[in-house]
A = this chain, B = another copy of it.
Amino acid sequence: MNDAIAAEPTVRERNERRIFDAAELVFARHGYRGASIQAIAAAAELPKSNVLYYVGSKRRLYVALLERTMARWNTALSDISEDDDPATVIETFIRSKMALSQTHPLSSRLFANEILQGAPFLQETLAGSMREWVESRAAIFRRWAEQGRMDPVDPVWLIFLIWSATQHYADFEAQVLGITGQAGLADADFAAASDCLCQVILKGCGLTRA
A residues in contact (CB < 8 Å) with B: 28-35, 109, 112-113, 115-119, 122-123, 126-127, 130-131, 134, 151, 153-154, 156-158, 160-161, 163-165, 167-169, 171-172, 174-176, 178-181, 192-193, 196-197, 199-206
Given contacts A154-B196, A161-B200, A204-B203, contact A178 B34 (CB under 8 A): no
**The one of B118, B157, B178 that contacts A29, using a Cβ cutoff of 8 Å:** B118
Contact of A178 among B30, B113, B127 (CB under 8 A): B127
Assuming the contacts A116-B171, A118-B29, asked whether A196 and B130 have C-beta atoms less than 8 A apart, the reply is no
Query: Copies per complex?
Result: 2
The distance from the CB of A30 to the nearest CB of chain B, in whole angstroms, is 5
> Roughly how many angstroms separate A29 CA and B114 CA in the complex, as a whole number?
9
Say how far A90's CB is from chain B's closest CB, in angstroms.
11
Give CA–CA (A151, B109) in the complex, Å.
Answer: 32
